Amino acid sequence: MPADDIDLTRYLVILRRWYRLILLCAVLGALAAFAVSSFLAKTFEAETNLAIVRGGMILAFDPKIRTVSDTDPSQSVDQAARRKALTTIAQSNDLAQAVRAKLGSQLDPAPRTEADLLGAIAVSSDGELIRIKAKAATAEQAALLANTWAQEYEARVNQIYSESPLTPDDVRAQADAAGIDYQARQQELVAFLRDSPIERLTRQKNLVSQQLDDLIGVDTKLQRLALDAKALRERIASGSPGNPRGDELAALLLEASAFSNWSGLPVSLQIPIDQLSSGSTPAEQLRNLDSLIAALQERRKTLQGTTRDTLQQEINSLQAQLEQANRKSTELSAARDLAWNTYQTLATKVAEATVAAQSKGSVVRLATPATIPTEPVAPRRLINTLLGAVVGLLLGIALAFALHYLDTRLADPEQVALQLGVPTLAVIPSVTSPTAALSAHTNTPDAATEPYRLLRHRLLFDNALHGVLITSALPGEGKSTLAANLAVVAARAGKKIALVDANLREPTLHKLFGLEQGRGLSNLLSAAGVEDATGAEAWHAFAKPTGIDGLTLISAGSPSADPAGALESPAFKTILTQLKAAFDLVIVDTPAVLDLADALAASRGADGIVLTIDSARTTRAEARRAQAALAETGAPLLGVVLNRVAPRRAAQNTIARMAAPAPTVATASSARNNWWSGVRERIVELVGPRPG
């Protein structure tokens, strides 16, 4: 499943496992709510409605003289803000004081303060209605309080909204002052316009501008004539063939244009050809043209002197004076217009204030008075009970998730698969006798031996499995009892079983079978070899009969100075090899993994490992640490046996289907553990999680 997806199945499984606790919390919540509702005092509620009046009087003497009304479509009134303001007034402290003073001794029992009285009132707006609800211990008190509150509220609101902030006399005085100010502004503007220099400055500016334009035109004409004279001179100087009389005439026309104010020669000018002198030589013509060009340049210098700059400065000065005069005129006109608009507005307000003072309207009116209620509104037992059940259900769900995440035990096969990723080979109920298989003398299935038969089937199903190591994460998880019972059940199935007690520190198996410890595995490992003097395998000399056909026990033997070193020796592996060749299954009981290195050393010669876990004590972290330690040995972890599981949980996991007999106490330590486990399991059975 992608990381961003939510695994709802996981949460549903948690809810299903803890459904009894969830249902118990829902029932307790419902009972608590019902009990509280039964003892609460009855409360009655009365309701009255006031309508927001949008009607009023509109006196339209003139479009500029109008009264303000909510019904006027040309007026923009924020109705939401209006309703909010009306609701706020209905919940004011001074209104509570007025109601309390009016009712006096009629309030029974009387509220101690205005805050208590306000607490009994609920105000809301619904469209064009203001709804007032009053609560009291009796139906009559609720109706009386609601009606009195509505009456006082109606009078208070209509008084507030009908009062005008200004009287007609106040507005009229302001209008008279505005009229006087308008007259003064008008006279000031008239005086300015009478002596206004705007027209004179405009004429002067136009005259000087015309002079400047004429000067620029003459300069342009002289520049063009100079260019024409230079072109004529270049043609004559180059000796190009031409008409001498035409050149002389062109020079004459240029000279005439240069010293006249005409824009061009008159079209009626006629010069007889025979009168034109053609005696001028080209050199003389060139000298005449040079003189003409020099005269034109000199005249341009004269025109481009101070005269042109002076005219431009005079124009700028006249323009500045004209702008200042226009600005003054605009300011005076704007001041006169503003004074007139102010006077007109105030004159209109005089009419509005006069009309408003003579006509008073209503903002709210009592629409439906309160009637005496017949049924109390609280307590509502059914609704409260349902709400209590819902709250209890939610609390139960929250508690279920909290307990699930706080519970770090491996309580069922699903937890084993989720946390360790290995199968659960068997589930042994906590009420099963520690020596159930040892005390049974028949092969008839029952609840005490059925888990061990299931484990035997799963281990012997694989024909390649001959050596199995039984261990646990922590001491006291029942691994030795498991090994003994498994060996007995397997032997009674017609198999040859060798049971080896590799717990050289605290051996237990010989006690379970009622045998002396004597010489055993430690003595065998300390011998010089693994064969006796006759050449036979040495383990024969240390094997002990158990009284069960097909089952041979090799006890731990004498105490060893270095148990882990002895189990890690090649001799131990050789002994296991010999035993696997002689028996159908070799079961080796070792110490806990997390306590000592003995189990890790002994597991190197086994075909598989079975990890025993106390479901009521071993945590997930401890089980994972044990699994990681066993993984370093190279021997495969065949699976987990869950020990001391609640009987009902074990039954629901389809392991123990029959009613289990009463437990058989073996030792004082197991008696104490079984007593505490029994108490705890009873609680878990009542409200604890369900398997799966």
Sequence spans of domains, the chain: 8-166+360-381, 167-261+281-359, 410-687
Residue 515 CB contacts under 8 Å (≥ 6 apart), including other chains: 544, 546, 553, 555
Max CA-CA distance within the chain? 175
Label residue 305 exposed, middle or buried (CB < 10 Å: 0-12, 13-18, 19+). exposed
Does the structure show a pLDDT above 80 at 32?
yes
Distance of CA 125 to CAs 42, 79, 86, 153, 395, Å?
26, 11, 9, 14, 36
For the cut 70, the answer to whether the pLDDT of residue 649 exceeds it is: no
Terminal alpha carbon distance of the chain: 20
Radius of gyration of the chain (CA): 60
275-300: average pLDDT: 74
CATH architecture of 8-166+360-381: 2-Layer Sandwich (3.30)
| CA atoms of 495 and 640, how far apart (whole Å) | 23
Topology of 410-687 in CATH? Rossmann fold (3.40.50)
Please classify residue 61 by burial: count the beta carbons closer than 10 Å to its beta carbon, then call 0-12 exposed, 13-18 middle and 19+ buried. exposed
Q: 514-542: per-residue pLDDT in tens?
A: 898 888 999 888 874 455 443 457 788 89
Predicted pLDDT of residue 560: 85
Mean pLDDT, range 566-581, rounded to an integer: 90
pLDDT band of 686, cuts 50, 70, 90: low
Q: How far apart are CA 473 and CA 470, in angstroms?
A: 11
Chain-centroid distance of CA 670 in Å reads 54
- Whether 266 shows a pLDDT value over 80: the answer reads no
pLDDT bucket at 225, cuts 50 / 70 / 90: confident
Confidence of residue 22 (pLDDT cuts 50, 70, 90): very high
- Whether 8-166+360-381 and 410-687 share one fold: the answer is no
The pair phi, psi for residue 22, each rounded to 5°, is -65, -45
Q: What pLDDT sits at residue 608?
A: 92
For 124, which DSSP code? Answer: E
**CA–CA gap between residue 15 and residue 9 (Å, rounded):** 10
Strands 364-368 and 121-126, bridge-based pairing: unpaired
Two tokens at 409? 């035990």
Strands, sheet with 544-545, edge to edge from the N-terminal-most edge strand: 424-429, 637-645, 608-614, 467-472, 585-589, 497-501, 551-554, 544-545
pLDDT exceeds 80 at position 428? yes
pTM: 0.47
In this structure, what token pair is assigned to residue 658? 């029959």
- Among 32-46, 464-478, 665-679, the least confident range: 665-679
More confident residue, 419 or 76: 419
Please tell me the predicted confidence (pLDDT) of residue 73.
Answer: 47
Cα-Cα-Cα-Cα dihedral of 373, 377, 378, 380, to 10°?
130
Quote the CA–CA distance of 193 and 189 in Å, as a whole number.
Answer: 6
Mean pLDDT, all residues of the chain: 79
609: pLDDT confidence band, cut at 50, 70 and 90? Answer: very high
Query: Averaged over 290-309, what is the pLDDT?
Result: 76
Residue 431's pLDDT is what? 57
| Residues 6 or more apart whose Cβ sits within 8 Å of residue 24 | 396, 687
pLDDT in tens, 453-511: 999 988 887 767 889 999 999 998 999 999 999 999 999 989 999 999 999 989 999 99
Decide if 643 contacts 612 (C-beta within 8 A). Answer: yes
In angstroms, rounded to a whole number, what is the distance separating the alpha carbons of residues 177 and 343? 8
What pLDDT shows up at residue 85? 87
> Tens digits of per-residue pLDDT, 354-409?
776 665 567 888 889 999 998 888 888 888 899 999 999 999 999 988 887 777 77
Place of tokens 């005129």: 329
User: pLDDT at residue 691 above 70?
Assistant: no
Rounded to whole angstroms, the Cα distance separating 231 from 214 reads 26
What secondary structure letter does DSSP report for 636? -
- Tokens representing 508? 């237990």
What does the pLDDT read at residue 668? 38
More confident residue, 660 or 458: 458
- Which pLDDT score, from 0 to 100, does residue 162 have? 67
Residue 61 confidence (pLDDT):
43
17-31, 197-211, 631-645, 670-684, range with the lowest pLDDT: 670-684
At 653 the pLDDT is 55
Q: What are the CA-CA distances from residue 93 to residues 67, 90, 130, 480, 519 (Å)?
A: 32, 9, 18, 81, 98
Nearest partner of 434 among 691, 660, 683, judged by Cα: 660
pLDDT per residue over 537-565, tens digit each?
778 889 999 889 999 999 998 888 888 88
Q: Is 639 within 8 Å of 427 (Cβ atoms)?
A: no
Burial of 343 (0-12, 13-18, 19+ CB in 10 A): buried
CATH class name, domain 167-261+281-359: mainly alpha
Q: Supply the DSSP symbol for 617.
A: T
Q: How many CB atoms lie within 10 A of CB 638?
A: 22
Pick the most confident of 86-95, 226-235, 268-277: 86-95
Report the pLDDT averaged over residues 325-337.
Answer: 88
Instruction: Name which of 32, 22, 63 is nearest 385 in CA terms.
Output: 32
> What DSSP letter does each residue of 207-257 carry, written as one string?
HHHHHHHHHHHHHHHHHHHHHHHHHHHHHHHTT----HHHHHHHHHHHHHH
Please give the share of the chain, as a percent, with pLDDT higher than 90.
21
Q: Tokens 């706020």 appear where?
A: 88
Residue 240 has pLDDT above 80, yes or no: no
At residue 434, does pLDDT exceed 70? Answer: no
Long-range CB contacts for residues 87-95, cutoff 8 Å, separation at least 24: 87/123, 87/124, 87/125, 87/130, 89/153, 89/156, 89/157, 89/160, 90/121, 90/123, 90/130, 90/132, 90/149, 90/153, 91/118, 91/121, 91/123, 93/118, 95/149, 95/152, 95/153, 95/156
Is the peptide bond between 636 and the residue preceding it cis, with omega within 30 degrees of 0?
A: no
Q: Which of 42-56, 80-94, 580-594, 654-668 has the lowest mean pLDDT?
A: 654-668
**pLDDT value of position 393:** 93
